[in-house]
Amino acid sequence: QSALTQPASVSGSPGQSITISCTGTSSDVGGYNYVSWYQQHPGKAPKLLIYGVSDRPSGVSNRFSGSKSGNTASLTISGLQAEDEADYYCSSYTSSGTLYVFGTGTKVTVL
């Protein structure tokens, strides 16, 4: 099972919107509405931002939103803030036998 493909880095200025893509296959991202997104600051545990493609857990800012089209899921961060600078990972259920697959990770830089 190969990792889901994410861009290595994305950057934006404060207040801007950025989008991170996450490309898989019909066995994972495209086949199920079980895409989730995580934010990880250096030295910290990951934090759930989005589950079920577009649902936000209680307490997560509505500046974070998720969507999916075909085999590609996306995370959009609107009104970019300095504290959004972190690594972001997507994940999906997979029917390939390994249950879960993570993305390669994207480093977000706030200019």
Decide if residue 51 touches other proteins (CB under 8 A). yes
Say how many Å lie between the first and final Cα of the chain, rounded.
35
55-84 positions binding other proteins, by CB under 8 A: 55, 57
Q: Which is nearer to other proteins, 57 or 70 (CB)?
A: 57
40: which DSSP letter? E
56 closest CA partner among 41, 77, 72, 40: 77
Chosen residue from 86, 91, 108, 110 binding other proteins by CB under 8 A: 91
Q: What is the CA radius of gyration of the chain?
A: 13
CA 90-94-97 angle, to 5 degrees, is 135
Binder of other proteins out of 65, 92, 108, 110 (CB under 8 A):
92
1-40 binders of other proteins (CB under 8 A):
1, 3, 32, 34, 36, 38, 40
Do residues 58 and 39 make contact, with C-beta atoms less than 8 angstroms apart? no
Min dist. Cβ of residue 13 to other proteins (A): 26
Q: Which residues in this chain contact other proteins in the complex, by CB under 8 A?
A: 1, 3, 32, 34, 36, 38, 40, 45-48, 51-52, 55, 57, 89, 91-93, 97-105
